[in-house]
Structure 1
Amino acid sequence: MDEKEIGYINTVPLVDVMLVLLTIALTTATFVKEGSLPVDLPSAKAQTREAPKVFRVTITKERTLYVNESEVNESTINEVLQAFSKEDLCEIYADKTVMVEDLTIMMSRLNTLGFSKVVIKTKNTTNE
């Protein structure tokens, strides 16, 4: 068998790949830039604000109430909730079998106590 000696290297595919990589790098670099218009923003003294604290109210399917991890009676829940700041975020975790009435009572109770930041936690169902 006769082996042929290679006298050159074809660089066209290498140049094509490098141009594609350069195009991707330049395109993504424009999106990384923070602002598209050059603006010299004024400076100001800003007060640091604490992030709101989060507490959890859980309603189980047996209608048992928990605040964070502690079980709470229906009669003492108002006193327990008043220990939190009105600026704190309240996350309600309610079992899906809990009656809407129980959830509405809890939200009404939080509203009466002055909590305005209340969310109902749900699970993401896009994968199902």
Structure 2
Amino acid sequence: MDEKEIGYINAVPLVDVMLVLLTIALTTATFVKEGALSVDLPSAKAQTREAPKVIRLTITKDHTYYINDKEIAQKDISAQLTQFSREDLCEIYADKTVMVEDLTDMMSLLNESGFSKVVIKTKTAV
């Protein structure tokens, strides 16, 4: 058998694949621009509701408590929560070294105060 060296690369299949990918990218880009199809929305006389306020509750590793970046004693938290609406969102920022008991105490206090929208903030694991 005679072995012949191939002195060129056939680029036609590569060009075909790239054209298909370009077509897909261009057709989906029109939907990404607005996030959805454009719709002319009707008008209404009803007012939109205000977005709920966020109450930021922080527990540091040295057991210091904060409400919206203002330091507060643990025994005064319940009294301070009375100034907020029960529809507000409560975000708990607890240091990862804080005992679970401290975190559950904070959640119980919020529950007893009538707050139903409570989240524990975390960071995304890498």
Report the AA paired with residue 54 of structure 2: V
CA distance in 1, matches of 2:120, 2:86: 17
Listed one character per residue, the Cα deviations across residues 13-40 of structure 1 (whole Å, up to 9, x for unaligned) are: xxx8xx66555323433566835xxx99
Give ranges in structure 2 of 5+ residues lacking alignment: 1-15
CA distance in 1, matches of 2:68, 2:31: 45
Q: Please state whether the residue corresponding to 1:101 is helix, strand or coil.
A: helix
Instruction: Look up the match of 2:56.
Output: 56
Instruction: Look up the match of 2:25.
Output: 24
TM-aligned CA distance change 1:44 to 1:105, over 3 Å: same
Q: Offset at 1:89?
A: 0.7
Determine which structure has more spread, i.e. the larger CA radius of gyration.
1
CA distance in 2, matches of 1:110, 1:83: 13
Listed one character per residue, the Cα deviations across residues 17-68 of structure 1 (whole Å, up to 9, x for unaligned) are: xx66555323433566835xxx998765432110001111101111111111
CA distance in 2, matches of 1:54, 1:105: 20
Whether 2:120 is the aligned partner of 1:120: answer yes
TM-aligned CA distance change 1:81 to 1:30, over 3 Å: closer
Instruction: Look up the match of 1:34.
Output: 36
Report the AA paired with residue 26 of structure 2: A
The residue correspondences of 1:1-128 to structure 2 (distance < 5 A) are: 21=22, 24-29=25-30, 34=36, 44-125=44-125, 127=126
Q: Please state whether the residue corresponding to 1:55 is helix, strand or coil.
A: strand
TM-aligned CA distance change 1:44 to 1:96, over 3 Å: same
Higher helix share: 2
Report the AA paired with residue 109 of structure 1: L
CA distance in 1, matches of 2:41, 2:124: 39
Instruction: Look up the match of 1:10.
Output: none
TM-score (norm 2): 0.70
Q: Please state whether the residue corresponding to 1:123 is helix, strand or coil.
A: coil
My pick for the range that moved more, 24-33 or 72-81, is 24-33
